[in-house]
Chains A and B, each alone.
Chain A
Amino acid sequence: MQKTEPIDSSQKPIPLSLILLLAVAVHLPLMLMKLPLKSYDTNFHIFFASHYLHHWFNPWNVKWYAGFSQATYPPLPQQWIAVISPLFGLEMGYMVVQFAAILLLVVGVYRFSRLWVSPRAASFAALATVFLGSESFLVYSAGQLGTTSAAPLYLNALPYMYVWVREGGWRPFLKATALFAAAAAAHHATLLFGSFFFALPVLALAFLDDRGEKPTVSGFVMRTLVIVGVTTAAIIVVLLPFWIALIHYPVTQTPIPHPSRANYLLSPQWGLNYFIVPYGALILALPFIFWRGSMVPKLRPLLFGFWVAFMLGLGGTTPVGPILLRRAFEVITMERFSYWATLLALPFVGLLASELVSRYRVKAAGALAVAAAFTCALAVSWSTFHPADGGTLGIDSNAVAAWLNRDGHNQYRYVTLGFGNQIARLGRLTDADSVDGEWNSGRMLPELTKNGGGSLTNSKYFGADGLRALRAILMHASHYGLKWVIVRDPSYDPLLAFAGWRPVDNLDDKTIVIWAKDGIPPAQPLNAPQMPPRWQGLMWGIFPFGSSIFAFLVLLIPDKRREEEMEQYPVHREESLLPGRMIS
């Protein structure tokens, strides 16, 4: 490898405060407009938060599936929404937590990128985070609060881990462990897969990096084992009710189809949704990522992490998903892998942007700005072009909830048909319980788990499987006290009519019809074995939320040593190589 002349080293990074200000300028208006409410899962998170607001220490929620445990889903962001909701309300509370996660991601990406690239490139990476298509896609179309709040915590933890395994010290150790535990409390899958995509490359970097003093092998191994062991123990404790639920009731239900597992070439509409929109202009950077990631040894671990996440994010386009994930491929959705892949790509993007701007100045800056703006705009507006709510946003959930709450209607359970993701909002507003829900991994009713359909309200979109599940639950209406079927899609009318239901009322200018079945006894609580005992409820109310408070407190501990360290690290010479100058 020949040495080349370094480019102007006096170029300073973009101040982080400026980038954060830009993030505020871009995302705060969207949050104040409550744009995420149009996404798939936002109402789901608010529904969970609503339960925590009223039953902080009891994760058993009877409003869905005739009773299910919320301890089957890490609670941190939802608990934060519940905590701040007295000030902001549940919906705006969600926006506040999501907005905080966006800001935290900017910081996390900067700090993570600093491990790999120069401060200036890292600042470009952080800047790119503001416009990242996958982030906007997950926030405004998918509503994946868990993933988007766990990732920044995780990214912020990694630099502490890097310092710890290289040099030890109680401060980075404590901070890394606390942030890892908080990230797990926000989203378990992020931590699980993040270990492979993010942590392993960072560990490899920590071992191979020639900046500063290299750690001894024994010290490196020992410190790695210690942090893995302590973090694992912390995560086990913080999420103990979750692990108990997972061990006792593993997700063995029939897989539910999800279009993120489609082949994006054979089903281009899903390719657009799960590849073009999340990646946006970042697609143009893919050749650079492959090339630079391969050419620079230091970046190779990052490239490997990116490549595996990238391949998994392609869903069913390649056989990688089913090979690596096995049954998990049929359970988890794949868009989160694209999200992680884009986060892993950001150091490369920062590097590319930094070099382009150094070389082409205003022209490059202009082109990059256009590309970033286009990427962000497409992802933000995607919820309008491809509405996640399927046109259900206009449903008058208040009217339905008011109907269920009056005249003793809430003595019986209900199910909606054609309500899309508004069932979470309705579930929050009404006192009545439902046999449906949106948290597939938490449901235990055999009628639902045996058939490969998602929410009953969307039964027909799951084809024969979905309709089988709906028929099965209607068949056992007496057992569940299921008297009301609230219909907004008349295609279900024949099924209800032949199954013995009849229309008894209508709402919202006759667009919603309430069907009832005579002879159904009032709903009785189901004495489910999945109901967590009281001590688990206490743990669930204390530890996950407590982990975030603890992480916040330990971050207040001054980190002088780390600051000095960062200053000591010179810009890696190969980072400053311009593509055109690379000579053999």
Chain B
Amino acid sequence: MSEMDDMDEGSGIIKKFMFLNRKAPHGTVYALEGLEVVLITAAFDQDVSMVFTDDGVYQLIKGVDTKGIEVKDFSKTYRALDGYDIEKLYVDQKSMDARGLTEEDLIVDVTVLSVDEMANLMAEQDIVISF
């Protein structure tokens, strides 16, 4: 059985899905398995936004090397997201500041949002899923 078996719902309904990535890329499986859901949601032609906040901002950091911890490096997937028409990537300004990060440190182009802007964006969504 593949992930694609139950696709093609064909309902024509498009909802706004936000994926809130809050955790570091390694240490727990949430970031890796969360990405799977994001890709499937895009395959359903839904309106997808990804937000990176708290330690989740580390998911986008340049220079990841996982050899030492012997786990898969999936950071390339973030760079391939535009191929799935996932172009709405947002990071939380406060989370970046708290970790001494700037947009220059990230592997993809993002929109940096203040807490208030983030709250407004969240309020516009139909579905918010947090990983």
Q: Do A and B bind each other?
A: no
